[in-house]
Amino acid sequence: MVSMDITGRQRVDWVDAAKGMCIIMVVMMHSTLGVEIAAGREGFMHQLVAFARPFRMPDFFLISGLFLGLVIDRPWRRYIDLKVIHFAYFYILWLTIQFAFKAPGIAAEAGWGGALQAYLIAYIQPFGTLWFIYLLPVFFLFTRLVKALPVWLVFAWAAVMEALPLHFGSVLLDEFFNRYVYFFAGYAFATHVFAFAAWVRRRPGVFLAFCSVWAVVNGLLVFMPAPQAASAWLQPALANSGATGGYSELPIISLLLGIAGAMFIVGAAALLSLLRPMQWLTWLGEHSIVVYLAFFLPMAVTRVILLKTQVVTDIGLIALLVTLAGVCGPAVLYGLVKWSGYGRFLFERPGWARIEKPVAKSKPADVPAE
């Protein structure tokens, strides 16, 4: 995903570092829960996944909205090309790739007609790990349509929608109402987010003190069971699963924890990006779409191998190793694609999939475009 500074001229290191942290948490969640479901028991990684649940996707969406203000007023044709067709291309491509691996298993249970039906339904009901790619164009379009409305009105409406325990049975609708407030906050309050990151770099001690308090509060609210009387108001378990039934899933609390956790990620990224040994994290965030699109295969293969061979028996350690494979596997694949020159279409949108040609640059981009 391409990120530029506030003038649109270059990448912002801490934004990439924040994306890197986000993608690691996403892979960790899918890897850990997949291992635990297959093994029928939990490991130590389960607690980390639960702790991150209030802010894992909110911070990803908030960061995704940060640079929207730079392009939201572009002509509709250019905007649709950048923010809709781009993601549609990657969704269709990687949906098809995933089905190539999963279709035999689906066909064994429902026949090849059932497999075809499942593939077609995925164009209406976002499929598996790809729901984030499916939802982003919807957010981009909706924000363009409401940009003339007062910011406070849209934010208040989105906050109310997040608070309500809505469950339509549609991933698109459920995730839209549960996540849009964070995306809009990234877009509408981008200058404040950048100012906060700059403040953290000037006052790291104060920020670290905030982190210690935040971590305790977040942990207590995640793992402390909510009263039975409030169960109807718990946030439904959406594509982002791993719910604990704690106070963190109650209205208002979930929104506050989502924003606080997103600010933790922003601040931590602002500091980590200053450290040379952490440049790998910045690189990972710079190529976060590569990891998001391709992590499913190394994750699944590693999980099957480790569980079947029982070389490692600790479930938490297996989940950790599967997470590492899910993060590193796509990076290796991307390196092979760049080295060989074959398969660039996997991560870079080709010319035929554009309705507007990209602006000529002095050298080819080394990063898949967002």
Residue 252: partners with Cβ closer than 8 Å, 6 or more residues away = 163
pTM above threshold 0.75: yes
Range of weakest confidence among 96-100, 167-171, 192-196:
167-171
| CA distances, 310 to each of 39, 103, 145, 173, 302 (Å) | 11, 27, 53, 40, 12
- Mean pLDDT across the chain, nearest whole number? 89
In this structure, are residues 186 and 66 in contact, taking their beta carbons and an 8 Å threshold? yes
278 with 289: CB under 8 angstroms? no
Q: In the chain, where are the structural domains located?
A: 13-353
Query: Which ranges of the chain would DSSP assign to H, the alpha helix?
Result: 13-39, 45-64, 76-80, 86-121, 131-146, 151-163, 171-188, 190-202, 204-223, 253-272, 279-286, 288-294, 296-309, 315-340
Kindly compute the dihedral angle of the four CA atoms of residues 46, 52, 57, 61, in this order, to the nearest 10 degrees. Answer: -160
> What pLDDT does residue 5 have?
40
Radius of gyration, alpha carbons of the chain: 20
CA 218 to CA 7: how far, in whole Å?
A: 35
On whether the CB atoms of residues 56 and 25 are closer than 8 A, the answer is yes
Work out the percent of the chain whose per-residue pLDDT is above 70: 89
Q: Cα-flanking dihedrals φ and ψ of residue 246, to 5°?
A: -90, 180
Residue 239: is its pLDDT beyond 50? no
Give the model confidence (pLDDT) of 147-193 as tens digits: 999 999 999 999 999 988 778 888 899 999 999 999 999 999 999 99
Tell me the C-alpha to C-alpha distance, in Å, between residue 194 and each of 12, 139, 198, 329.
Answer: 10, 21, 6, 32
Cα separations in angstroms, 101 against 107, 113, 206, 342:
11, 16, 49, 21
At 79, list the tokens. 């905007």
Residues facing residue 225 across a β-bridge: 246
Interacting residues of 117 by C-beta distance below 8 A, sequence separation 6+: 110
Banded pLDDT at 249 (limits 50, 70, 90): confident
In the predicted structure, residue 308 carries a pLDDT above the cut 50: yes
- What does 36-49 look like in DSSP terms, one character per residue? HHHHTS--THHHHH
113-149: b or e for each residue (b if 16 or more CB lie within 10 Å)? eebeebbeebeeebbebbbbbbbbbbbbebbbeeeee
Placement of tokens 């929104």 in the chain: 255
Enumerate the β-bridge partners of residue 246: 225
Name the residue among 205, 183, 204, 180 with its Cα closest to residue 193: 183
103-115: average pLDDT: 88
pLDDT digits (tens, 9 = 90+) for 329-363: 999 999 999 999 999 999 999 999 999 876 655 44
CA 279/CA 337 separation, integer angstroms? 21
Q: What is the pLDDT of residues 27-39, one digit of tens each?
A: 999 999 999 999 9
C-alpha–C-alpha distance, residues 52 and 1, integer Å: 22
Q: Which pLDDT score, from 0 to 100, does residue 243 have?
A: 63
